[in-house]
A and B are shown apart, each in its own frame.
Chain A
Amino acid sequence: MLKISLPLRLQLSLIIVIGAAFLKHYAWYNLLVYGAIALLWMGISRVSIRKLGGLLGAEVIFLSLVALPLGWEKASFLMVRSLICLIIMNSFLLTLPPHSFGIALKGLPLPIPLKENLLLAGQYLEILLSEVTRMQRSAQLRGLNGVGGWLRYASAAMIGALYLRTLERAERVYGAMVTRGYNGQLPIDSTLTAKERFTLIAVGIVVTCITLSSYTMPI
């Protein structure tokens, strides 16, 4: 994979997705250009084709359920356009190193309260998942298995118990974070360099031109 920083990769993915999603209906030639860009992005990211295929397969089933009742002609354009957006975003996601989405998100121009909440939510998701594992292990140790075992995890009492257990751990973790000097900000720098800014602007201009041309050219 090319050495592109996480914030730049995320911002480039977002710009291309926005450009593709705003194409005029039935602008197939412009969509073809975005398709080529998506494939190029997929190649640059060196995403695993098997993983990407599996994920896209599940997403295409959902998309077809939504789009097919609209008629074949409309549905095919909507689905291809959405598929290109999915390829671009998933190429970024599937090559994202673990524990690093906070760094990628920090580069986005979002208000501080939202960023802080995003970072904490990401942090607590891991605690939540570990609590789920612990609760599953406790259930197994108590012999609570069987075919209908999944029903237990869908019960309101179980969901409530999971919330309370995780909250207690989350409060302890937050206390430790504050003690170590956490003030709502990640202790890393995620600003773009001058070269990266130039790349971002150049790609932004190209994408804008492709999308705008779909509105000016006859279909």
Chain B
Amino acid sequence: MHIPDGFISVPVAAVTSLASGGALLVSFGRSQTAFGIRRAPVLGLTTAFIFAAQMINFPVAGGTSGHLLGGALAAIILGSPWAGMLCIATVLIIQAVLFADGGITALGANILNMGVIGVWVAWLLTQTLQRFLGGSKARLPLAAGIAAGVSVVVAAMACAIQLAISGTAPVNLVLASMAGVHILIGVGEGLITGGVLAYLATARPDLLPGEEQKFRGWLTPVVGILLVAGVLSLFASAWPDGLEKVAENLGFIDLSEQVRIVVPTPLADYGIQGLGQIGTSIAGLVGAGACFAVAFGIAKVMKPKNA
């Protein structure tokens, strides 16, 4: 998933660098308060450990191979997604600067995909799944394993979108192939993450977060909505709804083609042209995000001043 030099355009490199730079700046402050100097060896070692683990490729079908990303593992062992971001960003800087693995100019994009999106998707999903599974420490490896696998696929899709925006490859080709390969890599990521956490939970339970609930009230519904919009939307029925069926039967369905003004929308029919089912998933995520943003904005505007 490491984008090499020359594969993304200048605007994409600039925007992703700004986004990941901003996220890292916030993480410096947050991880320092959450972590402190006393636990510096844990952060340093986890970084070294994930760097070493990324060097071991495991075979994936079709002659390709994958390796651990470690975003979920880092965030959970360190107990903070902010420290996890710092850890993965450091790994990516070492790889880009010293091992020419991932481009210098694509560093911002790589940090955004693996260090920000990968870590946060894994962290939020772990917390949500653990709550759904009962919230006990024993279920953490299972929740984290599933979350780690999903986070790899989401990060790969973000990478594919950046390559498509840069004009390097057509979106339907790159998105489908990246998602396809990374589903298999995600299975490996999930197994390793879950297995390592299961071992650590037995050998050194003090290293892992405790039984206390760290969840925020909004987290479960928001992640649940995104899961439904992004994953379950893939299984939505392709049959026409009630009105469309009646219109077809009574012969007035063609009237919709005769409207004078047509507003072009990129997400028509809950999909993106040429992307098939992945397009439905992206449309679902964009829609859910937009609805949340609008509802959040209205709530902010309507909120009484003394609330």
Q: Dominant SS at the B interface?
A: helix
Contact with B along A108-125 (1 / 0, CB 8 A): 101101101111111111
Q: Dominant SS at the A interface?
A: helix
**Which A residues are in CB contact (< 8 Å) with B52?**
125, 128-129, 132
B132 CB within 8 Å of chain A: no
Min CB distance A66 to B, Å, is 7
- The docked-state distance in angstroms from the alpha carbon of A105 to that of B42 is 21
Knowing A123-B44, A166-B49, say if A161 contacts B94 (CB, 8 Å).
Answer: no
A-B contacts at CB below 8 angstroms, number: 172
Stretch touching chain B among A16-24, A43-51, A137-145, A191-199: A16-24
B24 CB within 8 Å of chain A: yes
A25: nearest chain-B partner, CB-CB? B167
B140 CB within 8 Å of chain A: no
**Which A residues are in CB contact (< 8 Å) with B47?**
117, 120-121, 124
Q: Total interface residues on A, using CB and 8 Å? A: 63
A111 and B28: CB pair below 8 A? yes
Give me the interface of B with A, judged by CB distance under 8 Å. 4-7, 10, 13, 24-25, 28, 31-32, 37, 40-45, 47-49, 51-53, 56, 58, 64, 86-87, 89-91, 93-94, 97-100, 103-106, 167-169, 173, 177, 191-192, 194-196, 198-200, 203-204, 207
Could you list 22 A-B pairs, sorted by A, with CB under 8 Å? Answer: A14-B104, A66-B7, A69-B177, A74-B168, A82-B103, A85-B4, A85-B103, A113-B86, A114-B86, A118-B94, A120-B47, A120-B48, A121-B51, A128-B52, A156-B199, A159-B192, A159-B195, A160-B203, A161-B203, A167-B41, A167-B42, A170-B44
- 5 closest residue pairs by CB, A with B: A156-B195, A120-B44, A160-B199, A21-B5, A121-B47
